[in-house]
């Protein structure tokens, strides 16, 4: 819940102009709903909503439908973000309804999964991720238009970043779970989100199984956001 529409418009315009030369990275802007309207971006830049409702219309005051989001020009919708799960109590069942609604509306869900600190300390990370993926993807036949974002809840907004081993193990678990559900899952992108900043972006993006980032606080500052983007771009160029 940051940036007014005018602030967001200025942020996006400036950021796009600073990154016009990127060739190997896609950049997705996910402002509040008020910032989606009239966001004029073209590939490799995209717009995403932070949330949605699964119904297309009705007596659901305060909610936003997929058709409304699509009419604003968005391509992606974030579903199941840890703050929606933890603060607003969204269940796996609700998140599954949203995933299916986004896909039915010809948009692309970014499905967020992740464990709390208590769950990690109890050795439940893999079981939590398995449950969130299995329940969140019920009825989804293909992962072709879907992105997964692993965001350890204990590393979001805390300044604490999961170490490389923790990230690699978690992403490996996610890949294995997805492979069992969808044999073709090797093609999909799995993002990491959790206190990503310019200082750790190069190390994190080179971890096996990490295909990109879901950036929180560092995305609010143009300098840090563009810096992270360029770091990923340079790593991508080196690996081609």
Residues that are catalytic: 81, 151
Q: Is 137 left (phi over 0), alpha (psi -120 to 50) or beta?
A: alpha
Work out the number of other CB atoms within 10 angstroms of the CB of residue 183. 8
8 A C-beta contact, residue 133 and residue 143: no
Instruction: Please report which helix (H) or strand (E) contains residue 190, including its range.
Output: strand 190-192
Q: Is 195 left (phi over 0), alpha (psi -120 to 50) or beta?
A: left
Cα distances (Å, whole numbers) of residue 154 to 103, 158, 208 = 29, 7, 21
Instruction: Please report which helix (H) or strand (E) contains residue 109, including its range.
Output: strand 108-113
The owner of tokens 């703050």 is 83
Per residue, the 3-state secondary structure of 198-214, as one string, reads HHHHHHHHCCCCCCEEC
How far is residue 73's CA from residue 30's CA, in Å, rounded to a whole number? 12
């Amino acid at each position: 819940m940051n940036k007014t529409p005018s602030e967001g418009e200025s942020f996006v315009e400036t950021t796009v102009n600073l990154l016009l030369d990127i060739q190997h990275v896609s950049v997705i802007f996910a402002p509040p709903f008020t910032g989606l309207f009239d966001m004029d971006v073209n590939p490799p830049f995209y717009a995403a909503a932070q949330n949605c409702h699964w119904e297309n219309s009705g007596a659901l005051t305060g909610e936003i439908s997929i058709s409304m989001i699509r009419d604003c020009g968005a391509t992606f919708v974030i579903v199941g973000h840890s703050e929606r799960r933890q603060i607003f109590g969204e269940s796996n069942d609700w998140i599954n309804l949203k995933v299916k609604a986004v896909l039915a509306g010809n948009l692309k869900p970014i499905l967020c999964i992740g464990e709390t600190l208590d769950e990690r300390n109890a050795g439940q990370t893999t079981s939590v991720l398995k449950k969130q993926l299995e329940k969140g993807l019920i009825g989804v036949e293909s992962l072709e238009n879907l992105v997964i974002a692993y965001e350890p809840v204990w590393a979001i907004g805390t300044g604490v970043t999961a170490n490389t081993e923790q990230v690699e193990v978690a992403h490996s678990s996610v890949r294995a779970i997805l492979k069992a559900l969808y044999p073709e899952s090797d093609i999909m992108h799995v993002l990491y989100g959790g206190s990503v900043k310019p200082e750790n972006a190069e190390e994190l993006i080179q971890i096996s199984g990490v295909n990109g980032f879901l950036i929180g606080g560092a995305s609010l500052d143009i300098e840090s956001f563009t810096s992270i983007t360029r770091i990923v771009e340079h790593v991508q160029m080196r690996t081609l």
